[in-house]
Amino acid sequence: MTSRTKRGVGKRARRSQRTAKDSAPTFTVKFAEDGAYYVLMDENAYAPTMHIGNFVSEDAALAWIRDESAAWFAKWVAAGM
């Protein structure tokens, strides 16, 4: 089982996250028993742990964190979640 954690990336992503909630979440890639991978948004002051998506590989999950997590989080915050 593997587990990697990475903060949201990119200047624009960090700036929009700070203005939204003053805190960028951390995300962790986890291996599921069925052979897939999924991403967890780790528990923070504003949200519980959240299971996000199913990915065919660890690389795909890490790419989502790198390329899409900041926009996903900004939409999540804008929706008032």
64-78 pLDDT, tens digit each: 999 999 898 888 888
Residue 77 confidence (pLDDT)? 82
Q: Are 29 and 21 in contact (CB under 8 A)?
A: no
Give the model confidence (pLDDT) of 14-64 as tens digits: 444 444 445 678 999 999 988 899 999 888 766 778 889 899 999 999 999
Q: Structure pTM? A: 0.65
The domain segmentation of the chain, as residue ranges, is 3-78
User: Which residues are registered as beta bridge partners of 50?
Assistant: 41
pLDDT in tens, 9-23: 444 444 444 444 456
pLDDT at 74: 86
